[in-house]
A and B are shown apart, each in its own frame.
Chain A
């Protein structure tokens, strides 16, 4: 169901809502396309004319700096016009507000909505109701999915390791509330990573997490042993109030990534984090800034991956798929 909303009958990516259900071919196509955009940011003119004349709307119902900015840079490097719309979500009349907003923006002839929303399923809802010429990219919906983050993490791993099929990857932190973790897990398993682990206290792991194809650990030493990649998640501070965790200090003691805990991983293990960092809560400063950390590379790669997703989805509206002329 979901993949048919995302991928049309010709296998073209129409919307990007979740990494769940996307084939290895589609994921690889996105990563390959992103690879070709890497050089654009290093040229005299950091722009290609591919999406000239297209209008992209960043529709953010939840605050974000990094994600919004990298989507904005991606759109601009593709020569698209971009609008930023920040809407504080009103809990009362959400459905109606969302549709009304959508209709208004469509009347302005926008071609793409990049949607962030606190409710799971919001991007799906918009994609279902959007006009046929419009593509929707999910920039994070509730606890559900954050597919471009998951994809940029895959891109980062592939650039460092080349091959997914021999890796051990650990995702550490608040799995329960994390849309990033869900997008990472679906992408990693589809790309053929044989050993995907989640490491967290019992209160922060969803029930039946094993059904996602992951191994569950509650202990960092066991969970990080011999892994090639450690993907840390941000600990949302508001979780402390919910009684899920005793204190930040105690969380750091058991689950914060330090050089000491990292020592059981492979010596060349990569450390990743989607940001923003809580230094001294989920990760030690010297690890975040250390030689194995790819955290800032992830941000740069995020632009190329978003350029790839934007051009593939908007390119899917093409009328034919024949080769061009000399």
Chain B
């Protein structure tokens, strides 16, 4: 099992985001975290960037592409987005990018709230295994994991990121 220094990763992400937003002239972004882990990461970034507007929270359960295979998620929660996303620069935050299916679902949901000017994607971890043409604009850390390895974010307090082998006891 190995643990990451999450505070360092988050500080680097905040710097990269600040640069990217300045470069693109997106000075008033609307930050949206994907439940559950993405919201924890977004809460930290939101504070580091000193954003004034409240954080949006997205629940993608009604937009998943595997409903016919796994049914409704056992714990569904409502999304809470500011109603007006029209013409806003959205800063979408998730914990782990793997297949890209969560991000696809999140984009679909955001567009049902309105037509944003842009969407920037920031993820804490890109663990590979992409199945869709979706890449993050800002990546905290990119890891390559073996077939038996997993990565897991636990939180919200303390927020810890660990990778472990699925065969280790306790997991």
Contact = CB atoms under 8 A, between A and B. Distances in A.
Interface stretch (A37-45, A160-168, A186-194, A243-251): A37-45
Contacts of B127: 326
Given A35-B78, A43-B112, A49-B62, A12 B98 contact: no
B113 A326 contact: no
Nearest to A47: B112
A104 interface: no
Interface string A246-261: 0000000000000000
B63 A45 contact: no
A321 B71 CA distance: 7
Interface string B43-79: 0000000000000000101111011111111011111
Contacts, number: 82
B76 A33 contact: yes
Q: What is the interface residue range for chain A against chain B?
A: 20 to 34
Taking each of A12, A32, A33, A312, which has the highest tally of chain B beta carbons within 10 Å of its own beta carbon?
A33
B108 interface: yes
B69 A48 contact: no
Which DSSP category, helix, strand, loop or mixed, fits chain A's interface? Answer: loop
A107 interface: no
B96 interface: yes
A321 B70 contact: yes
B99 A318 contact: no
21 contacts: A36-B78, A37-B78, A44-B86, A44-B112, A45-B112, A45-B113, A48-B63, A48-B109, A49-B62, A50-B72, A311-B62, A311-B72, A315-B72, A323-B70, A324-B64, A324-B66, A324-B70, A325-B101, A326-B94, A326-B97, A326-B127
Interface of B: 59, 61-64, 66-73, 75-80, 83, 86, 94, 96-99, 101-102, 108-109, 111-114, 127
